[in-house]
Amino acid sequence: MTGILPQTPDETQRNTTDYVDFPSLFLSGPASSGKTSASLLRLQNILENPQESTLILVPQRSLAEPFHQFLRELGIAEGDQVSIQTMSSLVRRMISLFWPIIASHQVFEHPYEEPRFLTLETSQYYMAKIVDPMIDQGRFNNITLPLNRLYSQIIDNLNKSALVGFPHTEIGQRLSSAFIGEAARQNVFSDVQNAVDQFRGYCLQNNLVDYSLQVELFCNILWSNQTFQKYITNQYDHLIYDNSEEDPPYVHNIIAQWLPSLKSTLIIHDDQAGYRSFLGADPISSLTLEKLCQQSLVTTRNYVSSEPIQELRDCLRDLKNCQPTQGLIDKTIGFPEKRLCFFPELLEEVTHEIEVIRALPGGDQKKIAILTPYISDSLRFSLSHSLETIGVQVSIQKPSSSLTQDPVIKTLIILSKFAHPTWEIRVSYLDAAVALTNAIEGLDLNRAHLLLGDFDQHNPYLTALPEGVPSERIPSDLIERYTGLRDWLLSSDPAEPLHSFLSRLFGEVLSQAGFRFEGNTQSGTSTAVLMESFRKFSISLDRSLQENQNLASQAFIKAIDSGLISALYLSEWEVQPNNSVLIAPVMSYLMRNEPVDYQFWLNIGSQGWYERLEQPLTHPIVLSRNWQTGKQWTADDELAYNQANLQRTISGLLLRCREKVFAFTSDYNEAGVEERGQLLTVFQNLFRKALRSKNGR
Amino acid sequence: MTDLISPDFTFSQSNLQTFDYCRRRFYLRYVKKLIWPAQLVSDQQYIQDREAGVRFHRLVHQHFLGFEASLLRKIADGDPDIRVATWFETFLASPMATLQGKLEPEALFTTKIAGHPLSAKVDLLQIDGENISIYDWKTSRHLPKLSTLQKQTQSKVYPLVISRALNLGQPGYETARLRMIYWEANFPGQTIEIPSYQNDWKKYQLEIAASIELILSLRREEFVATPDEKKCAWCEYRSYCQREKIAVDSKDIEMTDLLEGLTKIPAEAFDSWG
């Protein structure tokens, strides 16, 4: 028995464990009802036969953690008897291995050449090549959007067509027919369609395989191929598919076809979830798998929340007919002791409450999550700083951040520009001075300015590092280091691939004595991230650019500067250390599926708790399988969507809360704006009802 | 025993080879998981060789998955590195392309030694009646010596793991034999074969269990850097350990390897970071 397994499984869990009597099982129920734990018991039984292999399929890596932990406890290496995958990773690997099948279908213009896989960032790079000339011609003129968001929304449309399973040639028409608004705006959807068509054509001409093409090639060519079927059938005997509701319909279609050839299948569906609908998640499509399974079980118990929290959840699901008591509210909801006017006061109050919890007997063992729709850098910094001052360890879940926000990466980019004067990229005087202070040990900003010499106030830019300006105020060793760095940069070969240049800059200079990366482990990680980002960018380029590494490096740096390559995806899905407080965006927390004792909901007045991002060029619902083609998306639909979204979020959070929720807001938010969103109204209604009930009215 | 190595840590030929090479490198790479992206070698040739080798391995894998040779030839011909097509043609013309029996390409096997998983990912496992062979495809520029290969951890870990996965150590299999076959695409006529038997597997087991137990017993400060500083010239951690500053050329490494018969550098050491 391992620590992660339930000690006394209930009847549903015991049945789920039995893969012989329940070989094809659909298990549904709310979060925290012991479904994943039951699947671990089933896996334990399957593992008793070492000859058979199991695929664990999850929609997102963060949801695989219980399975990883289980295998770790058993001392089983992943990949031998058990493989843990997302469908996206499986698709990507299979396309690469079975490329000859795709080649024989002659879909691409150079079918026998290697495919060049695109990431989201490199897809945007190529989309920009198509969209920018269109903008110059006056297309997309009714839309005001930052360029990156424009590119990403067009790419999102293409992905949705593949994930949902409709031809990409119908995107414009589907969006247009659902749109209510000025007739002039309708033109933009034909521009979107035009960009999508051109992008797909460009990919096929150049062996570029973006995410949408990966899915289409897998579903339309690979899956039905006999050689592929023989391989995949031999690979896995058993399937455990957790959180099927968070996957798009194409995954459900594949599973539906796969079911008959598997020895056993367990599909786990979370009720009232589907948080990733903006990424194509379709709980309704997931439910269609139920009737294809031989058996179906439903769980209703909650193994996490206290009874009062469960009562609160029931009440909030049907507030109209609920009569909450003041006692219930006192037990389950915490509020600030005073009215908070400004956001910093809110942060102080959060810190104070956490200090109080920590001081309670056993309080230092309690798990706490601070949740808000979005986490800005300033919120992250302020909160972690104030918590650390009271001795609380903080763990931050940040799905992505910009490459250039990392000071190490920014320094490397600036130094790369100085090593490649032919690029003729200007660096601001201030950025150059900051980069030097980040690179050279002992150098401060004032002395960095002195080294760079005077600058022209009307043109405060540099294209090359000047010879160090001697000054009595600069110690000679600092001048030596600067000169050494400058000489090294000037002596580098512009034709050297950028990742190799960065690696040498790191190893030969910046990690040596006298420079700030010496012994600094974070600098190693950041440098590796930039190198990897370039490597991915570089392999998507055509051969002529790959052969001219100077141009490839220049294109990469320009793409970063323009924000095209911005995301830095970090593997920050680790289990929260026991004594730390987690700070996370609400949606990321829900997809982490890790219960806590106390939740702090910040900015409950924010509309971000339920509203989707403004996306004028795409629409997750209109492009879903559940939208009737031709139907218009009205304000009522938007309202209903928001309400359903809020319900789902509240319910999902309470299912993952053991003891208490702290609902905090300030009169003015971080940006100094008053907010009065629906979640605030929900709480106000709840209190009014409780007050009425207390006063006997 | 210290608690530096978690109970689920999987040992493999590459991390055990790294430990033999430099204890500190093992610690930094596998225990501390330190990402330190300094150059391993000063030239691009080694990386190009490795990438071409990976694509050749994939073609051979595809061959054993049952693809038509004519189709794979077209893919090989489309490869940007012309050596890949040559290697693949050499492979197709060799007896390796027509191996009989049960063939398992790119298969991962795991066993437990000293309480820890020990894994081996083989290029091809052939079970043809009583003949069991482990094939390893190579694209080396220089033919390695038999004595060098015999000393490599791979030549011990693979037969050990496979013999245990197939239960060949049990009574009744006293005459069982495993062949570890190194096939070099640049030297197709000079296949190197290392046979092993029950006694050898017992010996390998003792040797590998001793290595693992030694690793488990070391405290952090006991993972010391290799006394042979020449090795630091092709280690990414050289600046972290404050030893060498500049990477050497990959050709120099190979020559050193051949001339002095040094333990081969673990191939995974040349994986790019990221």
> Which of B44, B74, B242 is nearest residue A500 as measured by Cβ atoms?
B44
Phi, psi of A619 (to 5 degrees): -160, 115
Mean per-residue pLDDT for A41-62? Answer: 94
Tell me whether residue A441 is in a domain: yes
**Is A118 found in the same domain as A211?**
yes
Residue entry with tokens 């279908």: A105
pLDDT at res. B269: 39
In this structure, are A669 and A530 located in the same domain? no
- Is it the case that residue A572 has pLDDT exceeding 90? no
Token look-up 């033919």 returns B143
Same domain, A523 and A429: yes
* Contact state of B238 with A112 under an 8 Å Cβ cutoff: no
Q: Which of A79, A231, A497 sits opposite B44 (nearest CB)?
A: A497
Q: Which whole-number Å values give the CA distances from A80 to A228, A573, B137, B253, in the listed order?
A: 20, 23, 21, 34
Q: Is the pLDDT of residue B75 over 70?
A: yes
User: Please, are residues A433 and A452 in contact by the beta-carbon 8 Å criterion?
Assistant: yes
In-domain check, residue A6: no
Interface with B, mutate which of A4, A500, A545, A553 (most B CBs under 10 A):
A500
Could B239 and A96 be called an inter-chain contact, meaning their C-beta atoms sit closer than 8 Å?
A: no
Q: Identify the band that residue B106 occupies on the pLDDT scale cut at 50, 70 and 90.
A: very high
Does A83 or A404 have the greater pLDDT score?
A83
* Residues in A touching B77 (Cβ below 8 Å): 112
The tokens 């399974």 sit on which residue?
A293
- For strands A116-117 and A333-334, give the pairing: unpaired
Nearest to A564 by CA among A537, A540, A529: A537
Q: Report strand pairing: A461-462 vs A427-428.
A: antiparallel
- A458 is written with which tokens? 């009307």
B55 in reach of chain A (CB within 8 A): yes
- Helix (H, G, I), strand (E, B), or coil: what is residue A146? coil
Which residue of B74, B79, B246 is in closest CB contact with A508? Answer: B246
Is B115's CB within 8 Å of A75's CB? yes
Clarify whether residues A592 and A617 are in a common domain.
yes
Residues of B in contact with A74 (CB under 8 A): 8
| Residue B177 to residue B199: CA distance in whole angstroms | 10
The shortest C-alpha distance from A534 to chain B (Å) reads: 10
Alpha helix stretches (DSSP H) within B66-197: 69-77, 82-93, 146-151, 154-165
Return phi, psi of residue A488, to 5°.
-65, -45
Contact with chain A for residue B93, Cβ under 8 A: no
**B39 with A114: Cβ contact below 8 A:** no
Contact A341, A605 (CB under 8 A): no
Angle A65-74/A35-46 helices, nearest 10 degrees? 40
Cβ–Cβ contact B58 with A under 8 A: yes
- How far apart CA A15 and CA A298 sit, in angstroms, is 11
Is the CB of B65 less than 8 angstroms away from the CB of A231? yes
pLDDT digits (tens, 9 = 90+) for A248-285: 999 999 999 999 999 999 999 999 899 998 899 999 99
Three-point CA angle A442, A445, A449, nearest 5° = 115
What's the rounded mean pLDDT across residues A547-556?
92
Whether the per-residue pLDDT at A423 is higher than 90: the answer is: yes
| DSSP alpha helix (H) spans, chain B | 13-21, 23-26, 45-65, 69-77, 82-93, 146-151, 154-165, 198-217, 250-260
The mean predicted confidence, pLDDT, of chain B is 88
Task: Catalogue all structural domains in chain B, each as residue range(s) with its CATH number.
Answer: 11-266 (3.90.320)
Whether A481 has a pLDDT exceeding 90, the answer reads: yes
For position A691, what pLDDT does the model report? 87
Specify the length of chain B in residues: 274
Work out the number of other CB atoms within 10 angstroms of the CB of residue A222.
22
Give the domain-ending residue among A217, A251, A279. Answer: A217
Residues of B in contact with A512 (CB under 8 A): 239, 245
CB pairs under 8 A between A and B: 123
What is the distance in angstroms between the Cα of A568 and the nearest Cα belonging to chain B? 12
Q: For residue B11, what are the β-bridge partners?
A: B118
pLDDT of A185? 82
State the pLDDT at residue B251: 67
**Contacts with A, B 232-261, CB within 8 Å:** 236, 238-240, 242, 245-247
- What secondary structure letter does DSSP report for A613? P
Q: Give the per-residue pLDDT at A568.
A: 56
Closest alpha carbon to A317 in A276, A281, A271 = A271
Residue A230 host element (H or E): helix A226-235
**Is residue A617 in a domain?**
yes
- Do A248 and A202 lie in one domain? The reply is no
Count other C-beta atoms under 10 Å from residue B234's C-beta: 24
Domain boundary among A544, A569, A594: A569
Give B4→chain A minimum CA distance, Å. Answer: 15
A112/chain B closest Cα distance in angstroms: 5
Judge whether A676 lies within some domain: yes
Per-residue model confidence as pLDDT tens digits over A491-508: 999 999 999 999 999 999
Task: Work out the average pLDDT over A378-390.
Answer: 91
Cβ–Cβ contact B54 with A under 8 A = no
Q: What is the pLDDT of residue A566?
A: 66
Q: How confident is the model at residue B188, as a pLDDT?
A: 94
CB contact under 8 A, A75 and B6: no
Answer whether residue B200 shows pLDDT above 60. yes
When pLDDT is cut at 50, 70 and 90, the band that residue B259 belongs to is: very low
In tens, the pLDDT along B27-48 reads: 999 999 999 998 887 777 888 8
Nearest CA among B187, B179, B184, B150 for reference residue B263: B150
What is the rounded average pLDDT for all residues in chain A? 92
Q: Are residues A123 and A171 in the same domain?
A: yes
CB contact under 8 A, B66 and A96: no
> What is the percent of chain B with per-residue pLDDT over 90, rounded to a whole number?
70
CB contact under 8 A, B6 and A72: yes
pLDDT of residue A576: 57
| Residues whose CB falls within 8 Å of the CB of residue B171, separated by 6 or more in sequence, listed in order | none
Q: Which strand (E) or helix (H) includes residue A644? A: helix A635-655
**Per-residue pLDDT at A643 exceeds 70:** yes
Q: Could B274 and A532 be called an inter-chain contact, meaning their C-beta atoms sit closer than 8 Å? A: yes
| Structural domain contains residue A99 | no
Q: pLDDT by residue (tens digit) across A659-673?
A: 999 999 999 988 889
Percentage of chain A modeled with pLDDT above 90 = 73
B70 touches chain A (CB under 8 A): no
Based on the fold, state whether residues A373 and A247 are members of the same structural domain. no
Dist CA A58 CA A349 (whole Å): 38
CATH number of the domain where residue A615 is located: 3.40.50.300
Give how far B222 is from chain A: nearest CA, Å. Answer: 19
Residue A459 pLDDT level (bands cut at 50, 70, 90): confident
Inside any domain, residue A592:
yes
Of A569, A592, A608, the one marking the end of a domain is A569
**Confidence check: pLDDT of B260 > 60:** no
A71 → chain B, closest CA residue:
B8
| pLDDT reported for residue B249 | 72
- Closest residue in B to A497 (Cα) is B44
- Is residue A80 located within the same domain as residue A211? no
Q: Which of A74, A99, A531 sits opposite B37 (nearest CB)?
A: A531
Angstrom distances, CA of residue A580 to CA of A369, A388, A395, B212: 9, 10, 6, 34
The Cα of A474 is separated from the nearest Cα of chain B by a number of Å equal to: 26
DSSP 3-state of A240: strand
Higher pLDDT pick, A463 / B94: B94
The alpha-carbon gap from B112 to the nearest alpha carbon of chain A, in Å, equals 9
Q: Do B274 and A73 touch (CB under 8 A)?
A: no
Identify the band that residue B254 occupies on the pLDDT scale cut at 50, 70 and 90: low
User: Could you read off the pLDDT of B122-161 as tens digits, one per residue?
Assistant: 999 999 988 999 999 999 988 889 998 999 999 999 999 9
* Inter-CA distances, B30 with A282, A283, B24, Å: 40, 40, 10
Q: Residue A524: which of B35, B71, B246 has the nearest Cβ?
A: B35
- Please enumerate, as own/partner, the contacts of A513-522 that have beta carbons within 8 Å and a separation of 24 or more: A513/B242, A514/A440, A514/A441, A514/A442, A514/A477, A514/A481, A515/A439, A515/A440, A515/A441, A515/A481, A515/A485, A516/A438, A516/A439, A516/A440, A516/A441, A517/A408, A517/A439, A518/A441, A518/B239, A519/B240, A521/B34, A521/B35, A521/B36, A522/A408
Asked if residues A404 and A566 have their Cβ atoms less than 8 Å apart, the reply is yes
pLDDT attached to residue B266: 40
B57 at A interface, C-beta within 8 A: no
Degrees to nearest 5, angle at CA A97 with A93 and A98 = 115
* B66–A230 C-beta distance less than 8 A: yes
- Give the residue ranges of DSSP H helices in B3-137: 13-21, 23-26, 45-65, 69-77, 82-93
A533, A455: one domain:
yes
Q: What SS3 class is residue A567?
A: strand
Partners of residue A497 in chain B, C-beta under 8 Å: 44
Q: Are residues A500 and A451 in the same domain?
A: yes
Give this complex's ipTM. Answer: 0.90
Residues of A in contact with B240 (CB under 8 A): 511, 519, 524
Question: Quick one: tokens of B40?
Answer: 């391993």
Q: What is the DSSP string of A73-111?
A: HHTPPTTSSEEEE-HHHHHHHHHHHTHHHHHHTT-SSST
* Minimal CA separation from A523 to chain B, in Å: 8
Asked if residue A389 and residue A413 are part of one domain, the reply reads no
- Closest by Cβ to A80, choosing from B34, B110, B273: B110
CA distance B148 to chain A (A): 29
Q: Is the pLDDT of residue A574 over 70?
A: no
For residue A482, give its domain range: 404-569
Confirm if A292 and A259 have CB atoms less than 8 A apart: yes
- The confidence score (pLDDT) of residue A182 equals 83
User: What region does A557 belong to: left with phi over 0, alpha with psi -120 to 50, or beta?
Assistant: alpha
Identify whether the C-beta of residue A667 lies closer than 8 Å to the C-beta of residue A340.
yes
Q: Which residue, A568, A600, A684, is CA-closest to A357?
A: A600
A488 alpha-carbon distance from chain centroid:
38
Contact call for B236 and A73, based on CB within 8 A: no
Q: Which of A76, A508, A528 sits opposite B273 (nearest CB)?
A: A528
Per-residue pLDDT, B169: 83
Alpha carbons A480 and A497: distance in angstroms, whole number = 28
Asked if A60 contacts A246 with a C-beta cutoff of 8 angstroms, the reply is yes
Q: Is the same domain home to A416 and A453?
A: yes
Cβ–Cβ of B67/A114 closer than 8 Å?
no
pLDDT band at A183 (very low <50, low <70, confident <90, very high): confident
Q: Left (φ > 0), alpha (ψ -120 to 50) or beta: where does A415 sit?
A: alpha
Q: Which of B35, B75, B117 sits opposite A112 (nearest CB)?
A: B75
Contacts of B238 in chain A (CB under 8 A): 507
User: Which of B6, B37, B58 is the closest to A528 by Cβ?
Assistant: B37
Give the range among A123-132, A303-312, A512-521, A569-578 with minimum mean pLDDT.
A569-578
In a domain, A102, yes or no: no
Buried b (16+ CB within 10 A) or exposed e, A277-294: bebbbbbebbbebbebbe
Nearest to B109 among A80, A103, A227 (CB): A80
Scanning every residue of chain A, which has its alpha carbon at the shortest distance from the alpha carbon of B12? A77
What total number of domains does chain A contain? 4
In a domain, A33, yes or no: yes
pLDDT of B274 > 70? The answer is: no
